[in-house]
Amino acid sequence: MQHFVNEYEYTPDILKESVGTWWDCKFKAGYCSMFVVFLLIAVLSTVMKRPVLLLLELAPLFIIALFWLRKKKAIQIEQERVGTLFRNSDLSYRVEVGEDISVTSSNGNHRIQFSDVENYIETRNLIILFVKGSMTLALDKKGFREGTKEAFLSLLADTIK
């Protein structure tokens, strides 16, 4: 089995990208369905020649705004949590991947089984693992000390179905 080591500082930017991506994935179906409802209302109002129906377009827009606000609040809560737990100290992560995943931080050491990783996504700066229990584990693409980002993505593609 290949061995990977990824180290990085858990900065506010990484926090926002990681938590925001998790919420975007969680609400993906909701965003898509609200977009479809929005389009259906527009088509229906045109076909029925009832422009007043366009007022119903506010409902899916309102729901999308609620999704966005919930995501923003989740990021804020995570920032407060990290600020409370790690006052005046940097939060750094060392993630070692071999037979399982070992995560070492200022918060201690944790192990995650590969079978607990449900999915992953690649963002601009991160590889985010979605772990059972609505958890995420971010790895900074620039943080690989052993192994490469490409080899790690290949391992994920082969391992997570």
- Give pLDDT tens digits along the chain (161 positions): 689 999 999 989 999 999 999 999 988 888 899 999 989 988 888 888 887 777 888 889 899 999 999 999 999 999 998 888 777 677 899 999 998 999 998 778 999 998 999 999 999 999 999 999 888 999 999 999 999 999 999 999 998 87
pLDDT at 57: 84
pLDDT at 88: 64
Those residues with Cβ within 8 angstroms of residue 104's Cβ, 6 or more apart along the chain or in another chain: 93, 94, 95, 96
Is residue 54 within 8 Å of 44, Cβ to Cβ?
no
Tell me the β-bridge partners of 117.
131
What does the alpha-carbon distance between residue 53 and residue 116 come to, in Å, rounded to a whole number? Answer: 46
* Identity of the residue numbered 149: K
pTM equals: 0.81
Tell me the β-bridge partners of 121.
128
**134's torsion region: left (phi>0), alpha (psi -120 to 50) or beta?**
left
Q: Which two tokens stand for residue 58?
A: 């506010």
What does the alpha-carbon distance between residue 93 and residue 143 come to, in Å, rounded to a whole number? Answer: 10
pLDDT at 105: 87
